[in-house]
Structure 1
Amino acid sequence: MSGTEETRWPDAEQHERALARIEAISRLPVYRDRPVSLLTDLYELTMMYGHFQAGRHRQRVVFDLYYRTNPSGNGYVIAAGLEQVVWYLHNLRFTDADIAYLRSLRLFSEPFLEYLRTFRFTGDLYAVPEGTIVFPNEPLLRLEGPIDELQLVESALMTFINHQSLIATKAQRIVDAAATAQGARAPVIEMGLRRAQNMDASVFGARAAFIGGCVGTSNVLAGQSFGIPVSGTMGHSWVQSFPSELEAFRAYANAFPDDTVLLVDTYDVLRSGVPNAIQVGRELAASGRRLKAIRIDSGDIAYLSKQARRMLDEAGLHDVGIIASSDLNEWTIRDLIVQGARINAWGVGTSLITSYDHPALGAVYKLAAQEEGGVLRPRIKISENANKITNPGKKKVLRFYVNGRASADLIALDDESFNPSEPLELFDPVHTYKRKVIQGFEMEALLQPVYIGGRLVYELPDLRQIRRHVEAGLARFAPEILRHVNPHIYHVDLSQRLWDLKQRLLHEWRP
């Protein structure tokens, strides 16, 4: 691979496959018949209108969407949310009701409102595929097209990418924490619906959690919409509603004899819950069925799970699992494993679905180039905060592998090429004395074409394909980069040409 991206105009077959896929996705319950055009901040529309009034609304520009800081002390982020981006762009239309509402604001002229009636996305979109391991300052989306279109879509694209990338990353941290010292993992189930900020946060959070490695969700709408396995049994109110805990357990086993999981902490885990569960387990065994698991949702889970395991084993119920819930996060899970907790599965809610310790990813959307005289000219944003200074120009992101292991990423200008048979010197863009030379490398272009000239060319994968992409990507990074505490900082460098361009523009714009 040369690393040079050439414009790819979609052939009819490719476009039709991609179109059929997004049409099918748009019919999913969570997407169907939802308004999209006014999912924007007002200032996007006012800027759009200002460009229209100035007659420059079709001027071609390039925008990058990226984030600046890894969340939760992590060493990386899992990119997610592209499916929602494509759904949004595919369905982006202004209805009569939308235009009537905008008219009522008394901000926009009639010619502009009439122009909106025929609005469609006609630009180019290059994106990092969902499930890709990414790092700060790398463009996750690169858009090129008329400035009015790219200005309008900013807020929506940011909310889709920000949210799902954040939750997918948090889920992966929790899933990793559920690994034992021998590397075996107890499955993690997402159970955050009731604690999510709203319906969309719960449904798309469950989707992102599956990308991040959760094996299922309690959210039935997410299960219906995305094919995620659903899981759930009973709450404490079920047990309380019967004259006795044993009667509650028997009634549930009668209703679900092949999928009986009993919540054992309503009254007393060891004196009541587990003994009653053992009784029902024996009754199920006598009828040719089996008790699947018990769930502990409070108390000292390390101690209770070890005692419960002993009691179940002494009763001959060796194959009955133990599920733990109760406001778990990656640190609690890791500590419980260190303490020898006997847990076969984890149910995680609030900390996962809200990314409780780091509730926002903070991705930004910045102008990188603008057309002048028919040529795209680089643009830079300068700030007193060094980390807010942007990388100018139309760019791409390349990942270099040495001996099969990810060695560094390079943000380069789009027309640059690199020869794998020649040594390549990389340097830290801030501390430029830090340099290394790689050779004999493989090279991967992370940004892939999704829309070209407003035509969809990318066939969206399903969730399981995305999850496999995550696993394949993680396997190519050193464990030091993936660890949760003080991870090794992965190199994301600028090409020499991009670094030189940035320095030149910084000096040109200096007062």
Structure 2
Amino acid sequence: HAHSLVESFGNDYDAFHAYAQTHHDCVFLVDTYDTLKSGVPSAIKVANEMGDKINFAGVRLDSGDMAYLSKRVREVLDNAGYPNTKIYASNDLDETTIASLKMQHAKIDVWGVGTKVITAFDQPALGAVYKMVSVEDGNGKMVDRIKISGNAEKVSTPGKKQVWRITDAKDGKSEGDYVTLADEDPRKEKSIYMFHPNYTYINKTVENFDAKPLLKPIFENGELVYDRPNLKQVVHYAEKELASLWPEYKRELNPQKYPVDLSQKCWDNKRDIIEKVRQYVQDIKY
């Protein structure tokens, strides 16, 4: 329920009691007036009076010093005989705030994350643009194209490509993503050489690996050819992929950058086309 419910009754106790009349599983919002002096004591009083008629599932904190309040609330609930009643927290929470509260040993059981999930809060606009990588000539042949830039990271990678997720065959941990030309298949190789596309000295040779193609056709000739997964399948896939990442990639502070590397053939093709473009520019005469 919301603060407006409590405000409409004018006090915590009457609001909680009315709420409990129509809801079996009760999570009471306890910070409308005073969390420790009114909210939590009123929730406990209603729970005591209603007994087995309700499940006193939890109390929710939506403001104030949540690290301090959660510890005090946990103590009050335990002393009142409700050790299994959970403490919920909300109020524009995000991963940074949650990590901070955990470091402060906050006694919070459930994190209510809303605003920061359903909005692009950190990056309202996506800095991505379309770049052509090949074009069909008059004879039906695909010809690779490139965009040159003074910034290495903005130089496009020409040619039709596939992206492969490379994982260790033993433990399933990710080695990184591997960008190849479309006619390459790392599953046929015993080992692959992976290197950073801009800083080629960052490299490694990977053996005993699994490779999974990530790019799949969605529409062909105007027809949908993709079997769309249901919500349960999407959640399972996301959990599986996150589990494959090393903790170094997922830490909140100074995370390691996840590698997205090029195959040797893809890199050689890019380098050759860069040289062709440079030669073209040098030969221009007006």
TM-score normalized by the length of structure 2: 0.89
Going from structure 1 to structure 2, the CA distance change for 1:397 and 1:261 (only over 3 Å counts) comes to same
Give the alignment partner of residue 109 of structure 2, picking from 334, 344, 367: 344
Quote the residue 2:142 is aligned against: 376
- Secondary structure of the residue aligned to 1:367 is coil
1:461 aligns with 2:229: yes
Out of 172, 181, 184, the position equivalent to 1:416 is 184
Distance 1:422 1:291 in 2: 58
Higher relative contact order (CA 8 A, sep 6+): 1
Equivalent position to 1:276, from 28, 31, 42: 42
- Name the residue aligned to 2:217: 449
**Alpha carbons 1:420, 1:442 under 8 Å: kept:** no
CA distance in 1 between partners of 2:263 and 2:148 (Å): 19
Name the Cα RMSD after superposition: 1.9
Letter in 2 for 1:295: R
- Pairwise CA distance, 1:421: 4.9
Q: 1:396 Cα deviation (Å)?
A: 0.6
SS in 1 for 2:72: helix
2:154 aligns with 388
Aligned to 2:256: 488
Which of 184, 191, 194 matches 1:426? 194
Aligned-partner Cα distance in 2 for 1:351–1:268: 26
Unaligned runs of 5+ in 1: 1-233
Relative to structure 1, is the Cα distance of residues 425 and 292 closer, same or farther in structure 2, using a 3 angstrom cutoff?
A: closer
Q: Could you say which residue in structure 1 is the equivalent of 2:20?
A: 253
Local SS of the residue matching 1:503: helix
- Looking at structure 2, the residues matched to 275 and 417 of structure 1 have their Cα atoms a distance apart, in angstroms, of 65
Residue 440 of structure 1: how far off its partner (Å): 2.5
Is 1:420–1:441's contact at 8 Å kept on the other side of the alignment?
A: no
Q: Does the CA-based 8 Å contact 2:193-2:263 persist in structure 1?
A: no
Task: Tell me, in whole angstroms, the C-alpha distance in 1 between the residues paired with 2:14 and 2:189.
Answer: 73
Partner of 1:366: 131
Q: Unaligned stretches of 5+ in structure 2?
A: 282-286
| Alpha-carbon distance change, 319 to 435 in structure 1, aligned in 2, over 3 angstroms | closer
Report what 2:284 is aligned to. Answer: none
User: CA contact under 8 A between 2:62 and 2:91: conserved in structure 1?
Assistant: yes
Partner SS, residue 241 of structure 1: helix
Partner secondary structure for residue 280 of structure 1: helix
280, 296, 306: which one aligns with 2:71: 306
The Cα shift of 1:283 comes to 1.3
TM-score (norm 1): 0.51
Give yes or no for the alignment of 1:236 onto 2:10. Answer: no
Q: Deviations over 1:216-265 (max 9, x none)?
A: xxxxxxxxxxxxxxxxxx22121111143211111111122x12221111
- Secondary structure of the structure 1 residue equivalent to 2:76: helix
Give distance in 1, aligned partners of 2:201 and 2:12. 69
Give the partner amino acid of 1:423: S
Q: 1:292 to 1:466 in 2, by over 3 A?
A: same
Deviation at 1:468, TM superposition (A): 0.5
C-alpha separation in 1, matches of 2:185 and 2:271: 21
Flag as ranges the 4+ runs of structure 1 deviating above 6 A. none
Q: Is the 8 A contact 1:284 1:290 kept in 2?
A: no
After TM superposition, give the deviation of residue 295 of structure 1 in Å: 0.9
* Distance of 1:485 and 1:496 partners within structure 2: 33
Cα deviation, residue 420, structure 1: 4.5
User: Larger Rg: 1 or 2?
Assistant: 2
State the alpha-carbon separation in 2 of the partners of residues 251 and 315 from structure 1: 21
Contact 2:193/2:264, CA 8 A, preserved across alignment: no
Q: Given the superposition, is the C-alpha separation of residues 248 and 390 from structure 1 closer, same or farther in structure 2, using an over 3 Å criterion?
A: same
- The one-letter code of the counterpart of 2:240 is A
- Measured in 2, the distance between the counterparts of 1:433 and 1:410 equals 16
Cα pair 1:380 1:389 within 8 Å, conserved: yes
- Secondary structure, counterpart of 2:20 in structure 1: helix
